[in-house]
Structure 1
Amino acid sequence: MTELALMDNLWVMICAVLVLFMQGGFILLEAGSTRMKNAGHIAGKTIFTVGIASLVYWAVGWGFAYGEGNAFIGMSDFFFGDFSTAEEGLVGSVDFFFQVMFAAIALTIAFGGFAERAKLSTYIVFAVLFSAFVYPIVAHWIWGDGWLANLGKQDFAGSTVVHLTGAMAALAATILLKPRLGKYNKDGSANELAGHNQVYTALGVLILWVGWFGFNAGSTLEVADAFFGYVALNTQLAAAAGAVAALFIAWAMTGKSDVPTMLNGALAGLVAITASCAFVAPWAAVVIGIVGGLIVFFSMKFFDKARIDDPIFALSVHGVAGIWGTISTGFFATPELAAMNGGSAGLFYGGGFSQLGVQVLSVVACGAFAFIASYVLLLVTKALVGGLRVSEEEEIVGLDLSEHGSYGYPESMPGNERTGA
């Protein structure tokens, strides 16, 4: 193996670890955004679903996504075990390790729509089904030489493949599970079921922000021309712009500089730039981040009024911002950068509506597939586990105690206070 190929493999391996560490960000983000009585459940659920996603993706997911097949699905390389090396490019095991982390992130995003009311058995069964039959199909269409890739679809690191796919599964779950107890009143007004720890939430966002450089910059898959630095620059600018824009729109509209909105704005900027980070100029990255931060505020309000209970705001942060990020490439992709990455220029650079049309088509096709497939698989899950949701009594007590037999914060719960030194 050449020295350059070795550096490429080392770079991608380090970035894969960064993407894995993003799960720590999701633990803190989701636990902090929900109530104390469910914190341990959410943390533990994240760990075992990463385990399930990894095993299922190894068994069949990689084959469906990247195996030889047709324009819609791969049909080879199941039970991945490629131990070969290569003089140039990535070895198979490094490539697999990087890609399986993306599959696990998509599943974690999907589970944001299940929070505080789904059975543990629901998580287990759906994790298997989603990791086998939903995420890999979309990945094949766009990253696995599928039909959207052949049309020139641009999604450098996964605004569509990872974020929109996960969000559409979350939408299917929120519809079938219905709102948490006490979320909505009979007149349709919403009650705020505030998360128990904004410090956890903020730290979770920061960990995700750091991990995103593995997510986006790592998707260059090489170090030869240090293009990963340019991708990182655009990622940083979009995240910063999203955070600032969300803070100011919340302040302007409500009179308060709402912290959760600002944090979700940063994430929305990151999600939005994920598709286009290798295709756009820095000024466009700022614009993409600003729009992401603005639309996440209005999207959160919209879903609340529509009585769609989304505790982690997965639909707004990953779904709506993912749609915007995908479409934005069709507006802002420069001719030079698009050519470098095998795409076409965007509308604002004289590329016409061709690339924009492909981006819109991908949103419709992938979003519809992910939602319908997830909805059907959730119905299958419901039949297998005897219902998706815990009982009313179990929900009131909290999933920590009802599903696991102990609280995430045992000393903080009534009746569990310690006495003495």
Structure 2
Amino acid sequence: MSTETVKITRLGAQGHGIAEGGKGPIYVPHALPGETVAIARNGGHGILISIAEASPDRIEPLCRHFNPDRDACGGCSLQHLADAPYRAFKRDLVVEALKSRGLAPAVGELVAAHPGERRRTVFSARKTEKGLLLGFNRAETNHIVSIEECPVAAPGIVARLDAIRSIGEALAAGSDTFHITVLDTLSGLDLAATDLKPLADRQRRAVTEVVLSLRGIARVSVNGEIVIEPQKPLIDFGGVKVSPPPGAFTQATRPAEDAMADLVTAHVTKAKRVLDLFAGSGTFALRLARNAKVHAVESEEKPLKALDHAARNTQGLKPVTIEKRDLFRRPMTVQELKNHDAVVFDPPRAGAEAQVRELARSAIRTVAAVSCNPVTLARDLRILVDGGYRIKSVTPIDQFLWSPHVEAVALLEK
């Protein structure tokens, strides 16, 4: 590993500063464009040692755990970047992905995220001689940085870090690392632990005793199995209360979810029959059912059951039907699509290539595409445009504050 001084010219897609080296780019975490920095270099990777010339866009991070000089939490990578260039960086991720596919639609300004909005957080945990180590991994390592604060997370999560540690300590049998997904719900925290061995009876008793001694804990589960549920965890999808299964996917922040839902529902407002693909527990389907009949398709049975239960027990909704189906292996065909007026799809990061190829051949006039990956979104939109669709707008949405992750909603018509 050699030491050298380099000039940072731009930010990479992961938020790392990039310097031009003789044998290719050098990626330097925590460095910003325009800065002259000293680095310890290992091939194409540089570790920031010092800053000789700082960028005017550099700001003081909010969190004590964001510190590249010491034991730094890897949860945030861009806390040192001022707000305006940070928002521009995220919007450009979407613009550049679209451009790489020959697409240049109208791209709106970034819908911003703010501190304290993250209602879903995944902690790493490990039992030690001094107690439970709970926090986030240092960037690109398995080393857990214990945290005492997190400006990104919802106050309801941060205020109960000690309670989460107590529950995690009761769950842990050995020193292996496991994970606890914490969801801040209307009825309390929902803790879903994974990567643990099946609990012994003594562990179950210990967890039960700890939870019953605490306030504000709705449920604790291990590898999808409920251990204790003092109250059903409830989340609100546009006025419809849903109890998601343990560890189920939810949008990370409520403001981002609302922004996505507002764009989608406004776009398909005239449709009478809407197809919601990759529907999960009903983020969009249950909102859309206020005005239209909805057919919700999802590959996992438990979220579908939660969606179905909520629809059946909420007054004022149009009929909602459900279908368990792997859309990667068996996409809705052109023949099946013709029974609907509009399609909404929100796939995992891999996108929905097989499904959009069928959709591109259909006569459906209105499509809303929701994505957590600009690269696969651009690929899918290219297929739809080649099939005759026109992109009305693309809106980038931030819900993973100070990270390189960005969501987007694309609205299309044929």
> What range is the shorter-chain TM-score in?
under 0.3
Structure number having the greater helix percentage? 1
Q: Which has the higher contact order (CA 8 A, sep 6+)?
A: 1
Structure number having the greater strand percentage? 2
- Scaled by the length of structure 2, the TM-score of the pair is 0.23
